[in-house]
Structure 1
Amino acid sequence: MDMNAFLEQSGLTKEALTHNAWELIPSLSGAIFVLLSGSLFYMITRRLIEAGLKRTPMQRSLIRITVRTVYKWLVILLTIIFALSQLGFNVTAALAGVGVLGIAVGFAAQQTLSNVISGFGIFIDHLYRVGDWVTINDHYGEVVSISLRTTKIRTLDNTFVSLPNSLVTNTSVTNFSEQGMVRISAKVAIPYAEDIEKARKVLVEAARHIEGIRRDPEPEVVVDALADSGVNLLLRIWIDNARQEQQFTFRLTELCKKALDEAGITIPFPQRDVHMIGK
């Protein structure tokens, strides 16, 4: 079937089609202009908003999410609605439809919305930042990314754990990096017969030779407990970077054993005294 036959069956003429096409051109031009203007508006305002927010205490991750996700999609949505209005669509009905759709999506994605709301809570409460070392839900590692839905941490085994933000806000979070320096302790026991002051001087002097620790506060040894088999001591040092916490913990534990061995101080084994009472 050729074009003329199709037009005849449809009750249309070439003149009518040409007239309608010419009438549509201004609407299409207006819609394209709105889309291009919306894109240009976003690119210009994004930089201005980011520059302004960076002067505030707001975290960089929250700025990026707010501007490049929330603000971006808001501009896209409004631009599409105004472009449709240029094509003759009812903007009021479109906005009402978006509202109804938003309610429907809210009911269908309650868990996702819970994670998003919790994500904003993490930023507002300053629980942690990218680069902080934390323990969340028994997972210890470095925070490598924070999104509106999840927090991703890298463990010491170089594995990545993604935690829903709703879980993060409903569990305890230990941040080892918030105040910068971190204290590390190593526990060691000495026999009751040994002099505590002698053991303290031996351990403190050995700790002072560890490279990379803080000199202020200085290393210290405190009595942790009077246990069944001996006196439990804690050797404490401070470091600047929480990233090195476990590395220094292992070194400190080994140092305690070597320093006490060189000083002739033994580490007691678990022991029990049994008294036999004759008949």
Structure 2
Amino acid sequence: MPTKPADPVAPFFDMVGMAASGDPVMLRNLAATLGAFSVRLLVAGLILIVTLWLARRVAAIARAGVERVNRHHPQDHTLGEFVGAMVKYLVIAIGLVAVLQQLGVQATSVIAVLGAASLAIGLALQGTLSNVAAGVMLLLQRPYKIGDKVELNGRQGVVAGMDLFNTRLLDYDGLTLYLPNGKVFGDMIVNITRAGRRRIELTVGVDYDDDLDLALSTLLDLANADRRVLSDPKAWAKVTALADSSVSVTLRCWTSPDDWNNTKFDLVKAIKEGFEGRGLSFPYPHQVSIERDAFVERRPREPAETPTR
């Protein structure tokens, strides 16, 4: 027959009962037990106090170290705060395990419970944790910063803010987009601002009878006349295609990302007016209607049949 395990609390209550009956030996044992427990409780309290103090100091040191590494972006403290909080809670967790062990709780059981809880939380928040991991990588690599013009997940706009979970993008329609960092980090990131310049490419068609050299020189003159067009790299104009009803000429020039939209649209208007002012034409498809009767074979009329009697 299996024996029933003994209750570990029963001897203590037996000791209390025998001490209450006036047994001097039990009174001394109870006093010794309470004294030892008081010492352990005092030591546990000291460990907890030291743990909380040490957690704050270590977190501050970690935060300062991250901000020192991230000194090129002093206005953004997101990564430093995150690393500091992680270090703080890690030190507190280690200190709590030491406190529980000092009070007689087995550390292995506590670690097992914490591991199971961490696994359950990780499975429940795996999407959120992936965004946090991607946010940490974005804050470390810095493919963009607040104020940059970027293209993220196929949407263009200005970065208005970023944290460990989302990147806030203000698009050109005035809409505020919240993009999860997991999708941003896993897709192509285009930083329009970082290069400091952006290329404009315009292709127009001229008539086959027009002077192509005049068309190319007109494109270059119009580009160089705009003060927003950069002189380095120089503007480029070439014949790029022979279409069905026109010859395609292309202009490529560079401007700053802030002036790109207005410069491009102003050049379209200037090319239209400049070409017409120099006698260059823009051919367009014509629909030619041909009379069908011209292709109908005219047959001689057959004589009418004479009625039979």
Q: What TM-score, normalized by structure 1, do the two folds share?
A: 0.75
- Report the AA paired with residue 241 of structure 2: A
Aligned to 1:179: 195
- 1:4-29 per-residue CA deviation (whole Å, 9 max, x = no partner) reads xxxxxxx9xxxx9xx89976565434
Residue correspondences, number: 259
Change beyond 3 A, Cα 1:211–1:142 = same
Aligned to 1:207: 223
- 1:139-166 per-residue CA deviation (whole Å, 9 max, x = no partner) reads 1112333433333222123322122233
- 1:174-221 per-residue CA deviation (whole Å, 9 max, x = no partner) reads 333343322112232222221121111112111112123210111222
Q: Which has the higher contact order (CA 8 A, sep 6+)?
A: 1
Aligned to 1:252: 267
Match of 1:266 among 281, 290, 304: 281
Change beyond 3 A, Cα 1:249–1:67 = same
The gaps in structure 1 that reach 5 residues or longer are: 1-10
Shift of 1:42: 1.6
Does residue 1:33 correspond to 2:50, yes or no?
Answer: yes
User: Is this contact kept in 1: 2:168–2:176, CA < 8 A?
Assistant: yes
Does residue 1:113 correspond to 2:129, yes or no?
Answer: yes
- 1:225-252 per-residue CA deviation (whole Å, 9 max, x = no partner) reads 3233322322221123x23322322222
Q: Name the CA distance, whole Å, in 2 between partners of 1:154 and 1:66.
A: 22
Aligned to 1:6: none
Q: Name the CA distance, whole Å, in 2 between partners of 1:123 and 1:33.
A: 32
Q: Name the CA distance, whole Å, in 2 between partners of 1:41 and 1:113.
A: 24
- Report the AA paired with residue 114 of structure 1: S
Identity of aligned residues (%): 26
Q: Name the CA distance, whole Å, in 2 between partners of 1:137 and 1:231.
A: 36
The gaps in structure 2 that reach 5 residues or longer are: 1-16, 18-30, 297-309
Change beyond 3 A, Cα 1:218–1:165 = same
SS of the aligned residue for 1:78 comes to helix
Q: Name the CA distance, whole Å, in 2 between partners of 1:101 and 1:244.
A: 54
- RMSD across aligned positions (CA): 3.6
Does residue 1:216 correspond to 2:232, yes or no?
Answer: yes
User: Is this contact kept in 1: 2:131–2:181, CA < 8 A?
Assistant: yes
